[in-house]
Structure 1
Amino acid sequence: MNALISKDGTIISYEKIGTGPSLILVSSAAADHKDAEQLAVQLANHFTVYNYDRRGRGQSTDSSKYAVERKVEDIDALINEAGGNSFLFGSSSGAVLALEAANKLGDKVTKLFMYEPPFIIDHSRPRVPANYVQHLINLIEERKRNEAVEYYMIEALGIPSEYLEYMKADPSWNSMEGMAHTLAYDGMIMGETQSGKPLPVDRWKVNIPTAIMVGENSEHYFHAAAKSLVELLPLAKYQTLSGQDHSAVVMAPNVLANEMVNFYLNLHQNPNGLSI
């Protein structure tokens, strides 16, 4: 792993592979760079891929006081390391962080690809509680990491509680517990965009080519969110990923990578799939 120092002194750890234009991968909540390792490999034939641990996760350190601006500064430091501009990719809440970075960093971000930003703009699923972030903070302060992950799964992801015991049998649950203190960070990134209200019309001024993709099999609210965001961004387009759902980054990295290559490199869609 490589490392750099963000503006506030936080150490950001990252893997760098491949050759070509720079591309930074921004992970989702409760994920570190390992979740996108196979995606990075698929992309490395076309890009210099920066796959990093967001602060507080993996080998990256953390600061004593969190703010969304610090996360954007981390991405800015990676872009500077990459030569001053970069393509940006984010999945789930990481997609919203990537959007925030594109909004604040101007022409340093040249193209943006978002996979399933989890906005809740209607009543097709329950909204996230107004006290969601504070409740997570309280659980972490009480050292209840398991309960924090459970709360995130139920309230943010909408997973029925009866499924959680099966999920806890998977080794990934322990990994999520280790990152549980960062779940509140993602809640802060989302802000009020999971309250069932329309997206704010003046929050993001992003005038670069933007792809907003949703798995064909994903829940309605992901599609509604993507279509709503497309209406707010002048150069954005909505796409579906055939046969996939919210897990595509981990479960179908080759399929997702095909679409990313097509978008970033302005390639025509190949109905038989692009060999990368």
Structure 2
Amino acid sequence: MDKQTISRDGTPIAYERSGDGPAVILVSGAMSTGATVAPLAGPLSDRCTVLAYDRRGRGASGDTAPYAVDREIEDLAALIDAAGGEAALYGVSSGGALALRAAASGLPVRQVAVYEVPYALDDTSARERAEYTESLTAALRDGRRGDAVELFLSLTGLAPALIQGARQSPMWAEMETIAPTLAYDDQVMSDGRVPHGLLASVTCPVLALAGGASEEWMRQSARAVAEAVPQGTYRVLTDQNHMVEPAVLAPVLAEFFAG
């Protein structure tokens, strides 16, 4: 990240800027940094000015206690200022929930696109989210960062054997480094249910995307987002799962943001 803006509470937020055209800010999800969404910047920069940033507590950005979702919305406000005073937002997974919250807050957001925000659609999923929140809070309070990462990977449905394999991989240390930010994404997701009241206040156009190869509940959740906002569109990307391929996603986003 070669640029920096300062959020309202004094936290430095690192970002990279590329391209020319309408501004688009890329918002990463849990256990990820700006580098995770940066592969979208290249294909989008032909038609848009793209800002990929490290959310607070990650990568080259700072962190200031105590955390609140409002602080992350202020981070986006600072980035929008740096982009020229108005921007579209693209958020993946829980980053999509943050993008929608930012749009609902009244920031000058032109459009929002989200990919597979993991909102719960039934009581069982909501209970699982509540149990995750309780266990995650305890693990981070006790300094058990590895356990916190394992809880998150289990929540995503990763098999226990694969999680144990990941613990032995070189990337595990980096995952433990940003493990405290799992609590941030958990707060962004609130109780995990589709926030119908909040979404009803998002007045800009919203594109809710899901992968055709993802689990059915992911597509149902994306459809629920599109139906809950006043100007929503739902679209499925054929053969894609939660790890959507930038080459497939970028043209869809470019058409939405610049078209």
- Residues 210 and 236 of structure 1 are in contact (CA less than 8 Å); yes or no, is this contact kept in structure 2? yes
Q: What is the CA-CA distance between 1:29 and the residue it aligns to? A: 0.3
Amino acid at match of 1:259: V
Amino acid at match of 1:253: P
Aligned counterpart for 1:215 among listed residues 201, 204, 211: 211
Per-residue deviation, residues 100-136 of structure 1 (Å, max 9, x unmatched): 0010034x10011001111011268674342433432
- Residues 218 and 245 of structure 1 are in contact (CA less than 8 Å); yes or no, is this contact kept in structure 2? yes
The SS at the match of 1:105 is: coil
Q: Does 1:65 align with 2:61?
A: no
Q: What is the CA-CA distance between 1:192 and the residue it aligns to? A: 1.1
Describe how 1:93-172 pairs up with structure 2 within 5 A.
93-106=94-107, 108-122=108-122, 127-155=127-155, 157-172=156-171
Mapped partners of 1:44, 1:127: distance in 2: 41
Mapped partners of 2:48, 2:169: distance in 1: 32
Mapped partners of 1:265, 1:59: distance in 2: 29
Describe how 1:198-209 pairs up with structure 2 within 5 A.
199-204=194-199, 205-209=201-205
The SS at the match of 2:111 is: strand
Q: Go from structure 1 to structure 2 and tell me whether the alpha carbon gap of 1:171 and 1:127 turns closer, same or farther (over 3 Å shift).
A: farther
Larger deviation, residues 133-142 vs 11-20: 133-142
Per-residue deviation, residues 120-169 of structure 1 (Å, max 9, x unmatched): 112686743424334323322322111110011113x1223232123334
Mapped partners of 1:102, 1:149: distance in 2: 29
Mapped partners of 1:21, 1:71: distance in 2: 22
Q: Does 1:81 align with 2:74?
A: no
Larger deviation, residues 162-171 vs 96-105: 162-171
Mapped partners of 2:187, 2:253: distance in 1: 27
Q: What is the CA-CA distance between 1:203 and the residue it aligns to? A: 2.0
- TM-score, scaled relative to structure 1: 0.88
Q: Which residue of 2 aligns with 1:189?
A: 188
Larger deviation, residues 90-99 vs 219-228: 219-228
Q: Which residue of 2 aligns with 1:261?
A: 254
Q: Which residue of 2 aligns with 1:274?
A: none
Q: What is the CA-CA distance between 1:256 and the residue it aligns to? A: 0.5
Mapped partners of 2:246, 2:15: distance in 1: 19
- Residues 20 and 49 of structure 2 are in contact (CA less than 8 Å); yes or no, is this contact kept in structure 1? yes
- Residues 25 and 89 of structure 1 are in contact (CA less than 8 Å); yes or no, is this contact kept in structure 2? yes
Q: Which residue of 2 aligns with 1:271?
A: none
Mapped partners of 1:46, 1:124: distance in 2: 42
- Residues 76 and 105 of structure 1 are in contact (CA less than 8 Å); yes or no, is this contact kept in structure 2? no
Q: Percent same amino acid among aligned pairs?
A: 37
RMSD of aligned alpha carbons: 1.7
Q: Which runs of 4+ in 1 moved over 6 A?
A: none
- Residues 126 and 191 of structure 2 are in contact (CA less than 8 Å); yes or no, is this contact kept in structure 1? no
- Residues 48 and 258 of structure 2 are in contact (CA less than 8 Å); yes or no, is this contact kept in structure 1? no
Q: Go from structure 1 to structure 2 and tell me whether the alpha carbon gap of 1:140 and 1:73 turns closer, same or farther (over 3 Å shift).
A: same
- Residues 23 and 88 of structure 1 are in contact (CA less than 8 Å); yes or no, is this contact kept in structure 2? yes
Q: Go from structure 1 to structure 2 and tell me whether the alpha carbon gap of 1:97 and 1:39 turns closer, same or farther (over 3 Å shift).
A: same
Mapped partners of 1:193, 1:141: distance in 2: 21
The SS at the match of 1:159 is: coil
Amino acid at match of 1:183: L
Mapped partners of 2:94, 2:210: distance in 1: 13
Per-residue deviation, residues 43-68 of structure 1 (Å, max 9, x unmatched): 11111111000000001111110110
- Residues 34 and 53 of structure 2 are in contact (CA less than 8 Å); yes or no, is this contact kept in structure 1? yes
- Residues 79 and 86 of structure 1 are in contact (CA less than 8 Å); yes or no, is this contact kept in structure 2? yes
Q: Go from structure 1 to structure 2 and tell me whether the alpha carbon gap of 1:126 and 1:201 turns closer, same or farther (over 3 Å shift).
A: closer
Larger deviation, residues 36-45 vs 8-17: 36-45
For structure 2, list consecutive stretches of 5 or more residues without a partner in the other structure: none
Mapped partners of 2:238, 2:127: distance in 1: 27
